[in-house]
Amino acid sequence: MVSAKSKLLLIGFISLFSLVFILVYDPFRLSDWSKDHYLNFIFIGASVLLLSQFALRPIFGLGKFSVYQLIFWCVFEILLLTCVFYLLYGQETSTMADTIFEFWDTLFQVGLVVIVPYALFVWYSEIKYRFSEFEHIQADKNEPSNHDPNKLLVFHDHSGKMIFAIKFSQLLYVKSAGNYLELYYRKEDETLMELIRASIKELEDKIVGTDVIRIHRSFLVNMERVSSFKKTRKGYAVQIQYASEMVPVSSGFKTVFEEILQQKVSH
């Protein structure tokens, strides 16, 4: 789930960028009315974004975004801002063509204001996330393994009630699917899949000191279940026991995967 702090930082960054943009570029011909509208413009825009991030996102059940969801939500917020500013500041028109042109001009100006800070903030967040992931991986490497294969991997709902649990030894691999995790595991002689509402980040806190490691932005594997692998242009493709699909090892996790393999070979 995206924190309230991250949402506020995004809104604050867009608001600051918008103020600079207005002072330099002067969209909507604000200087023709009054400079008093500058702060109104920022205040209204920030209010709409607060509504979008803190009210509408929970309604639609959007916590942590996938790439496509992020693009969709950015476009949605631009359209929402456009409608609000058009209703408040749009000039009265006498023809449909003039109305369309006025709305399109507003959409264009709002897009110029929002897209750049949105993209910069997402880029910054991604760099920060990858850096924290690197630190997390390094800490895991230095931490002695005391894994008990009979230990349970447990998931709880928002109220704290346990909704699913399996032994780590049963787990094959995990695949991220938007706001959900697909857990592939063995039960008796069957390979089953359980869909859990959680993020990979949440799962990583549960697998410290186990044989389950992250090998891709969207995959974790139980290294005890790796039956074979082959080198690819970007990393590796891993075959998991009883699994029909090959699981990719991305370049960012390639070194960690190789080190874990080396440790298992040496033992």
Residue 147 pLDDT: 52
E strand map for 33-151: none
Q: How many helices (H) and strands (E) does the chain have?
A: 7, 10
Report the amino acid identity of residue 112: L
Residue 83 pLDDT: 92
Range from 33-37, 40-44, 104-108, 177-181 carrying the lowest mean pLDDT: 33-37
At residue 169, does pLDDT exceed 70? yes
At residue 22, does pLDDT exceed 70? yes
What is the tens place of the pLDDT at every residue in 193-237?
Answer: 999 998 888 888 888 888 899 999 999 999 999 999 999 888 899
Q: How far apart are CA 78 and CA 113, in angstroms?
A: 9
What's the pLDDT band for 179 if we cut at 50, 70, 90? confident
Q: How far apart are CA 150 and CA 11, in angstroms?
A: 45
Lookup result for tokens 């009630």: 161
Assessment of whether the complete model's pTM goes beyond 0.75: no
Residue 256 pLDDT: 87
Q: Which residues of 106-137 are buried (b: 16+ CB within 10 A; e: fewer)?
A: bbebbbebbeebbeebbeeeeeeeeeebeeeb
At residue 1, does pLDDT exceed 50? no
Cβ count within 10 A of residue 23: 12
Residue 51 pLDDT: 92
CB 1 within 8 A of CB 63: yes
What is the tens place of the pLDDT at every residue in 72-112?
Answer: 888 899 999 999 988 887 777 778 888 888 888 888 888 88
